[in-house]
């Protein structure tokens, strides 16, 4: 993909633009531009500021984050999120035979007996695995040439993963972990992973903990390893729908069930990963319309999607 042109800021310095994600869905608009708000949408955002989540309530939400996600999976089990069969289409690094860190992978379709037996086998970590909506479709599609680690803040979610009929510790390990802390190093070693997926996960974390989360990922990846990222973008439909009483801080909200969601600007994400030491491979907004004519649904969605590589000489 050709390097995009770099426009000038008002002071004459260049503005960094990055290669854009390929549009894989008809009608997707892939750009570095945020959604343009209508006057009505601006009014909705202003309305949210009239009644904010109190500091006491915000602190309690942070302290009870694990509890709220555990209750979420207690209520919904595996019925809420759809399986993510789209990930290999938009993130080719997940395909069998691909090797972002440059190591030699095992024979396609053969599962390692354990994570230590075949040293050249690729290793992947899915952060925020939920009930396995990403990892099990990979296995169903035959992508078993790497060992999969899967972690989640919710013990109940991890338990549901372990009970899945495709769960097999010959080629995967699910564990409970708060990725914002040092807890992950109880299971994984520094410089041990080829791929980390961070898909609709960072938004559930308090913004103050974004840097520590990304720093942990950087340490876990091998030199040349890649982070695959997708999350909610600024002014996504879901952000505009929040009523007063749900806003915690700028672009950060509380849902009815006590879980939280942040909405990212594209340049905010690229800067976050660059400050941690990553090279930005791809970084873009994806503006998408979810259309179902039969049910008269036409929903505009905004995501930020990117790929970030740990330098080979790190």
Residue 162 scores a pLDDT above 50: yes
Rounded to the nearest 10°, the torsion over CA 301, 304, 307, 310 is -150
Q: How confident is the model at residue 109 (pLDDT cuts 50, 70, 90)?
A: very low
Q: In the predicted model, what is the mean pLDDT of residues 285-293?
A: 79
- In this structure, of 34-43, 116-125, 144-153, 275-284, the range with the lowest mean pLDDT score is 116-125
What is the spatial distance between Cα 123 and Cα 295, in angstroms, rounded to a whole number? 42
Q: In the predicted model, what is the mean pLDDT of residues 18-47?
A: 82
What is the spatial distance between Cα 225 and Cα 313, in angstroms, rounded to a whole number? 11
- In this structure, of 37-46, 74-83, 112-121, 126-135, the range with the lowest mean pLDDT score is 112-121
- The CATH code of the domain at 29-93+120-310 is 3.40.50.150
Threshold 0.85, pTM exceeds:
no
Q: Domain ranges for the chain, please list them.
A: 29-93+120-310
Residue 225 scores a pLDDT above 80: yes
User: Mean pLDDT score of the chain, rounded to an integer?
Assistant: 82
Q: In the predicted model, what is the mean pLDDT of residues 255-261?
A: 92
User: Which pLDDT belongs to residue 25?
Assistant: 64
């Amino acid at each position: 993909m050709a390097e995009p042109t770099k426009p000038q800021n008002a002071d004459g310095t260049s503005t960094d633009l990055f290669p854009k994600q390929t549009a894989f869905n008809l009608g997707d608009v892939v750009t570095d531009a945020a959604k343009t708000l209508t006057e009505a949408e601006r009014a909705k955002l202003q309305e949210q500021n009239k009644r904010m989540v109190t500091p006491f309530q915000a602190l309690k939400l942070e302290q009870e984050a694990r509890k709220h996600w555990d209750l979420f999976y207690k209520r919904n089990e595996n019925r809420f999120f759809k399986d993510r069969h789209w990930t290999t289409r938009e993130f080719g690094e997940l395909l069998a035979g691909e090797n972002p860190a440059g190591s030699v992978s095992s024979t396609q379709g053969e599962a390692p007996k354990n994570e230590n037996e075949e040293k050249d086998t690729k290793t992947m970590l899915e952060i925020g695995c939920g009930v396995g909506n990403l990892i099990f479709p990979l296995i169903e599609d035959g992508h078993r040439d790497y060992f999969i680690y899967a972690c989640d803040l919710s013990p109940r979610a991890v338990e549901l993963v372990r009970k899945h009929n495709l769960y097999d510790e010959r080629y995967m390990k699910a564990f409970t972990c708060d990725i914002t802390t040092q807890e992950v190093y109880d299971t994984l070693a520094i410089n041990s992973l080829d791929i980390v997926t961070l898909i609709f996960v960072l938004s559930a974390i308090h913004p103050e903990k974004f840097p520590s989360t990304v720093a942990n990922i950087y340490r876990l990846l091998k030199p040349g390893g890649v982070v695959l990222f997708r999350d909610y973008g600024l002014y996504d439909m879901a952000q505009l729908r929040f009523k007063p009483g749900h806003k915690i801080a700028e672009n950060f909200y509380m849902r009815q069930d006590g879980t939280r969601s942040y909405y990212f600007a594209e340049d905010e994400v690229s800067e976050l990963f660059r400050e941690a030491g990553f090279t930005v491979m791809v970084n873009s907004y994806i503006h998408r319309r979810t259309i179902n004519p039969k049910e008269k649904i036409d929903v505009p969605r905004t995501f930020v999607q990117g790929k970030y590589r740990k330098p080979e000489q790190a």
